[in-house]
Amino acid sequence: MMEPSATPMPLKIVFAGTPDFAATILEALLTQVPASNPIIACYTQPDRPAGRGRKLSASPVKVLAESHQIPVFQPLNFRDPAAIDALAELQPDLMIVVAYGLILPQRVLDIPRYGCINVHASLLPRWRGAAPIQRALMAGDAETGVTLMQMEAGLDTGPMLSKVHTPILDTDTSASLHDRLATLGAQAMVDLLKNFPESGIFAATRQNDHEACYAQKLHKDESLLDWTQPASALCQQIRGLNPWPVAGSQLGGETVRIWNATAKPETSRAPQAPGTILQADASGIEVSTGEGSLVLTELQLPGGKALSAAQLLNSRSALFAPGQCFESRKAALPQSTTPTKN
C-alpha cells in the first residue's frame, strides 16, 4: 500500500458489493457524500440465474450503479491477473467493500492508496463470516451492530475503525435486522468519509481473535425443527431463518413452513411429546417442545402463501387439531425454490 499524503481529499472511491445490504450503503454514499469523493467504479458478482424462468439477473448493486452511470466490473474472481490489472488502472484512493462475496487477495488489498474498508454486519470479532445477522439471532445474542474494518487477508480479521450497536428485539427477524443494520452501516460509512483524516490513517483497534465466532453460510437443511429443543431456541431458529430458508416441519404428510412464533418458557398443560399440538386458536398454534411450548403465529402450506394462524385455521383446522404431532427433524424438506410470502 502506498504511503498516504498529507491531504487525502478528494478521494477516488471504488465500491464492491452485491446484495441489497450493499446497495443500501452505496445509495447513501451516492446521495450523502460530497461529489469531491466520486465513486469511479463498482465491482459486483456476475449476473446469476434467478426466478422460475432462471433468467440472468443483475445484482442490486449493479442495477443501482448503472442507474447512476457508474462503470460496473464483474470478474469471476481475482485469480486472473487481468482482473487485478483492470482495478489497478482505475488508480483508486479507497475501496469500500460490503457483502461482495469474493475473496480479495493481498494484491487487490494493496491497490487502493488508503486500502480497503469493509462494512461488516456484526460487532467484530463476534460473528466473522457469511451469515452474521442470522447467526446472531439464532444464538440468542442480546445485541448486534455494524463494524467498519480495515481489510487484511484474513476472513474479517482486520483492525476495527468504528462500531455501531443496536439491541436485538424479541420481534426481530433476519429481515428486519438486515434492514436496520444496512441503515446503520450506511450512516457509519458516510460519517467516516466525511471525517476522513488528513493523514489518511485511522485510529484502529486490533481484534481479539479468542473472542471470534464463525458465522457459516446458511443451508436449507438447517430449516428442519427439532422439537426436543427448548422453545426459546426454536424461536431463535425461526426468526434467524426468516426470510430464508424458512424454518419448517412435517405435519400429516405436509411440509409446514413457520415464519413467526413466540416462546412460552413454561406451560401449565400436562406434559406431551415434543411436537404435539396442545392448542390451536386465533392467537396461535401452541406446540409442545423439549422445554416449554412454542406458539406458531405465521405459517405456510405447500402451494400457498404465508398466513396468520387465525387465517390458516379457517380452512385447515383439522390438520392443526390438538393431539396432532409434528415430526422432529427426521424427513428432509423437499427440494423447492426459495420460499416467499407472496
- Amino acid identity, residue 162? S
In this predicted structure, the answer to whether residue 337 has a pLDDT above a threshold of 70 is no
**Residues 270 and 130 both lie in one domain:** no
Contact 226, 250 (CB under 8 A): no
Contact 280, 258 (CB under 8 A): no
- Amino acid identity, residue 204? A
CATH number of the domain bearing residue 249 = 3.10.25.10
The CB density around residue 103, as the number of other CB atoms within 10 Å, is 11
Q: Which of 277, 268, 265, 279 is nearest to 236 (CA)?
A: 265
**Residues 26 and 88 both lie in one domain:** yes
Enumerate the H helices of the chain as residue ranges.
Answer: 20-32, 60-67, 81-89, 106-109, 132-138, 174-194, 231-240, 309-316
**Residues 126 and 181 both lie in one domain:** yes
Q: Which of 190, 215, 240 is the last residue of a domain?
A: 215
In this predicted structure, the answer to whether residue 342 has a pLDDT above a threshold of 60 is no
**Residues 106 and 231 both lie in one domain:** no
Model pLDDT for residues 206-264, shown as the tens digit of each residue: 999 999 999 999 999 999 999 999 999 999 999 999 999 999 999 999 999 999 999 99
The residue segments making up the domain with residue 210 are: 13-215
CATH number of the domain bearing residue 126 = 3.40.50.170
Helix (H, G, I), strand (E, B) or coil at 315: helix
**Residues 193 and 242 both lie in one domain:** no
**Residues 258 and 195 both lie in one domain:** no
Contact 248, 223 (CB under 8 A): yes
User: Of the ranges 134-143, 199-208, 304-313, which one carries the lowest mean pLDDT score?
Assistant: 199-208
Model pLDDT for residues 79-90, shown as the tens digit of each residue: 999 999 999 999
CA 195 – CA 192 distance, rounded (Å) = 5
- Amino acid identity, residue 72? V
- Amino acid identity, residue 92? P
Give the residue-averaged pLDDT of 26-54: 91
pLDDT bin (cut points 50, 70, 90) of residue 2 is very low
Model pLDDT for residues 99-127, shown as the tens digit of each residue: 999 999 999 999 999 999 999 999 999 99
Contact 97, 156 (CB under 8 A): no
pLDDT at res. 341: 56
Question: What is the percent of the chain with per-residue pLDDT over 90, rounded to a whole number?
Answer: 83
Grid cell digits, residue 205: 483497534
**Residues 97 and 198 both lie in one domain:** yes
In this predicted structure, the answer to whether residue 338 has a pLDDT above a threshold of 80 is no
Q: Which of 20, 3, 29 is nearest to 148 (CA)?
A: 29
Task: Look at residue 244 and tell me if it is in a domain.
Answer: yes
**Residues 96 and 40 both lie in one domain:** yes
Model pLDDT for residues 272-313, shown as the tens digit of each residue: 999 999 999 999 999 999 999 999 999 999 999 999 999 999
**Residues 230 and 182 both lie in one domain:** no
CA 64 – CA 66 distance, rounded (Å) = 6
CA 281 – CA 293 distance, rounded (Å) = 15
Question: What is the percent of the chain with per-residue pLDDT over 70, rounded to a whole number?
Answer: 92
**Residues 27 and 152 both lie in one domain:** yes
The CB density around residue 233, as the number of other CB atoms within 10 Å, is 19
- Amino acid identity, residue 286? E
Q: Which helix (H) or strand (E) holds 71?
A: none
Model pLDDT for residues 158-170, shown as the tens digit of each residue: 999 999 999 999 9
pLDDT at res. 197: 83
**Residues 127 and 226 both lie in one domain:** no
Q: How many domains does the chain have?
A: 2
pLDDT at res. 336: 42
Grid cell digits, residue 212: 471470534
**Residues 94 and 201 both lie in one domain:** yes
In this predicted structure, the answer to whether residue 142 has a pLDDT above a threshold of 90 is yes
CA 46 – CA 239 distance, rounded (Å) = 30
pLDDT at res. 335: 42
